[in-house]
């Protein structure tokens, strides 16, 4: 594998180990995309290794390389990719990174422990979320002790650890033994994509948007139950995942088919059109697997009010300033969520004010440029320490 040329031969080369990458949906995926694009704009030479459900390959453009390692399904949310260690070793020889940036959780990244070429360079671990050791999912609960031991070795090896919020860092049990190397840098976003045609909204006066993977921790079933109590509201739930069929069945059982529509397979342009045409965005997550809530940043960027779960230990509570940029509700409480929806349905001026304040806060604190600059400073500090 020939070494890819950097835009500047003296540029700081960084190799990111991610889980997936766009067009695969997800907050980690979108952030890795915008982060590496911004790093290239700032003069770094980023490369990315991720899984792909299709096939292996590499692409180059806009100052970065993206290598994709074919995965064959997944087990316990972990892609099955036997060729990952071999491909990682080849990329380390080709790209010769100065820094290895591991985005966790991602068990494939643990392969770096086995490779001398990886151990010779400093690691920066980006801590996107804990693995919930108290999860109700039996397989995860049984596998966690083994995972935790390897995870601890990776954290101990890291020269620096990036947490996405102070609240999440304070609540993270795995990070407690490594606080002296932890830095808080929020996630960020770049410019929005050009929107597609305006979506066709279902019947209702208050337009509620929910976006995300249809997974157990997102709490979209609680949102559906809350909407049943607010006849003036309608909703688009945009996403795909294992709970799509149960969620549709719940919508039908509550008689909400005319007011609540589930949309799968939307591209970025269509999602952006949904953001721009809704009244508010709701993220009703019920577990700390929702570590940050990038969709809230997308809502704030679009100038939309938000309703989010006040989830202990989650960065969502830092993003949403109660009564200023949005409303917070107890997690898993459809009645409280319905009350928040009724409040905004009855006060359109408040809904608009929350959205405008959110837009201003996004511009102040969550643009990708200063986020990438802060991460670049962490790279330089660990390199200066040798």
Same domain, 298 and 317: yes
Per DSSP, the three-state class of 74 is strand
List per-residue pLDDT tens for the chain, 386 residues long. Answer: 444 444 566 899 999 999 999 988 888 999 999 999 999 999 999 999 999 988 888 898 899 999 999 998 877 667 888 999 999 999 999 999 999 999 999 999 999 999 999 999 999 999 999 876 555 565 666 767 888 899 999 999 999 999 999 999 999 999 999 999 999 999 999 999 999 998 999 988 899 999 999 988 999 999 999 999 999 999 999 999 889 999 999 999 999 999 999 999 899 999 999 999 999 999 999 988 898 999 999 999 999 999 999 999 899 988 999 999 999 999 999 999 999 999 999 999 999 999 999 999 999 999 999 999 999 999 999 999 87
Whether the model pTM is above 0.85: yes
Contact 54, 60 (CB under 8 A): no
Same domain, 161 and 19: yes
Q: What is the pLDDT of residue 5?
A: 46
Same domain, 248 and 351: yes
Helix 334-345, helix 220-227: angle, nearest 10: 60
Question: Does residue 305 form part of some domain?
Answer: yes
Question: Does residue 200 form part of some domain?
Answer: no
Helix ranges (H only) for the chain are 27-41, 84-95, 116-119, 138-157, 166-171, 220-227, 244-253, 268-277, 294-301, 316-319, 334-345, 348-365, 368-384
Q: Which residue, chain included where needed, has tokens 């959110």?
A: 358
Same domain, 159 and 229: no
Contact 304, 195 (CB under 8 A): no
Question: Does residue 283 form part of some domain?
Answer: yes
Name the residue range of residue 343's domain: 206-365
Contact 192, 367 (CB under 8 A): no
**Mode of pairing for the β-strands spanning 123-127 and 99-104:** parallel
Same domain, 295 and 374: no
Q: What is the pLDDT of residue 144?
A: 74
Same domain, 46 and 114: yes
Question: Does residue 44 form part of some domain?
Answer: yes
> In this structure, what are the phi and psi dihedrals at residue 229, rounded to the nearest 5 degrees?
-95, 0
DSSP 198-258: PP---S-SEEEEEES---TTS-HHHHHHHHTT-TTEEEEEE--STTHHHHHHHHHHTT-TT
Same domain, 211 and 249: yes
Question: Does residue 269 form part of some domain?
Answer: yes
Question: Does residue 3 form part of some domain?
Answer: no
Distance of CA 382 to the CA centre of its chain: 25
Question: Does residue 82 form part of some domain?
Answer: yes
* CATH code of 295's domain: 3.40.50.2000
Same domain, 60 and 102: yes
Same domain, 138 and 212: no
Question: Does residue 125 form part of some domain?
Answer: yes
Count up the domains in the chain and report the number: 2
Same domain, 21 and 122: yes
| Spatial CA neighbour of 281 closest among 333, 233, 242, 214 | 233
Same domain, 159 and 292: no
Same domain, 210 and 130: no
**Triad 272, 61, 159: Cα angle to 5°:** 90
């Amino acid at each position: 594998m020939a070494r890819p040329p950097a835009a500047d031969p003296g540029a700081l080369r960084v190799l990111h180990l991610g889980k997936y990458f766009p067009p695969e949906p997800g907050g980690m995926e979108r952030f890795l995309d915008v982060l590496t694009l911004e790093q290239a704009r700032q003069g770094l030479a980023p490369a990315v290794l991720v899984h792909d459900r299709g096939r292996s390959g590499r692409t180059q453009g806009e100052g970065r390389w993206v290598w994709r390692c074919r995965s064959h399904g997944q087990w316990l949310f972990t892609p099955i990719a036997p060729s990952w260690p071999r491909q990682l070793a080849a990329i380390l020889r080709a790209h010769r990174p100065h820094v290895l940036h591991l985005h966790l959780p991602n068990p494939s990244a643990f392969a770096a422990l086995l490779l001398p070429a990886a151990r010779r360079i400093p690691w920066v671990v980006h801590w996107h979320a804990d693995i919930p050791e108290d999860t109700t999912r039996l397989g995860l609960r049984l596998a966690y002790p083994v995972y935790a031991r390897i995870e601890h070795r990776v954290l101990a090896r890291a020269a620096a650890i990036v947490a996405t919020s102070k609240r999440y860092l304070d609540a993270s049990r795995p990070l407690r033994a490594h606080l002296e190397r932890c830095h808080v840098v929020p996630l960020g976003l770049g410019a929005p994509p050009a929107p597609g045609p305006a979506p066709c909204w279902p019947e209702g006066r208050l337009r509620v948007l929910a976006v995300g993977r249809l997974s157990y921790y997102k709490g979209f079933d609680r949102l559906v139950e809350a909407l049943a109590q607010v006849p003036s509201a309608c909703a688009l739930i945009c996403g795909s995942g294992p709970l799509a069929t149960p969620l549709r069945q719940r919508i039908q059982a509550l008689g909400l088919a005319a007011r609540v529509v589930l949309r799968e397979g939307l591209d970025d342009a269509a999602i952006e059109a949904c953001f721009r045409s809704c009244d508010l965005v709701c993220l009703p997550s019920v577990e700390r697997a929702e570590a940050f809530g990038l969709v809230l940043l997308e809502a704030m960027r679009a100038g939309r009010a938000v309703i989010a779960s006040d989830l202990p230990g989650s960065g969502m509570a830092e993003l949403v300033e109660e009564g200023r940029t949005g409303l917070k509700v107890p997690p898993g409480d459809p009645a409280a969520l319905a009350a928040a929806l009724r409040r905004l349905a009855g006060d359109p001026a408040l809904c608009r004010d929350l959205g405008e304040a959110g837009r201003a806060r996004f511009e102040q604190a969550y643009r990708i440029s200063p986020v990438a600059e802060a991460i670049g400073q962490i790279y330089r500090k660990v390199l200066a320490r040798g």
